[in-house]
Amino acid sequence: MSTSKYIVTVAEGRKVDLTNAIILKSNNLYPFGRHNYAIYETPEGTFVKGLNNGEREIMLTGFELLDEATARNYSHPFTREED
């Protein structure tokens, strides 16, 4: 059994444990870039959006809290562009 944790710091400075979170939506296509995102729901009912600021080698570079309605209805504004 793994004891690894997936803990992120959201924009507000709060730490959120995503270890047992469900991914509601995501785009994890490589090479990474602004098209990458993930919407998480934690067992406690916290919703977190992960985004990529244009980093090619890291899928998600920043996180922020969302309310449930925004999380469930999220539509990502970026698509992957081929080089």
pLDDT in tens, 21-37: 999 999 998 889 999 99
Confidence of residue 83 (pLDDT cuts 50, 70, 90): low
Range of the domain at 64: 7-72
User: How high is the pLDDT of residue 82?
Assistant: 66
Beta bridge partners of 50: 38, 63
DSSP 8-state class, residue 32: P
Does residue 14 lie within any of the structural domains? yes
Does residue 60 lie within any of the structural domains? yes
Q: In whole angstroms, what is the distance from residue 70 CA to residue 53 CA?
A: 20
Does residue 41 lie within any of the structural domains? yes
- Our count of domains for the chain comes to 1
**Number of residues in the chain:** 83
> Comparing C-alpha atoms, which of 9, 59, 11, 10 is closest to residue 34?
59
Does residue 83 lie within any of the structural domains? no
Q: In whole angstroms, what is the distance from residue 75 CA to residue 37 CA?
A: 10
User: How high is the pLDDT of residue 3?
Assistant: 84
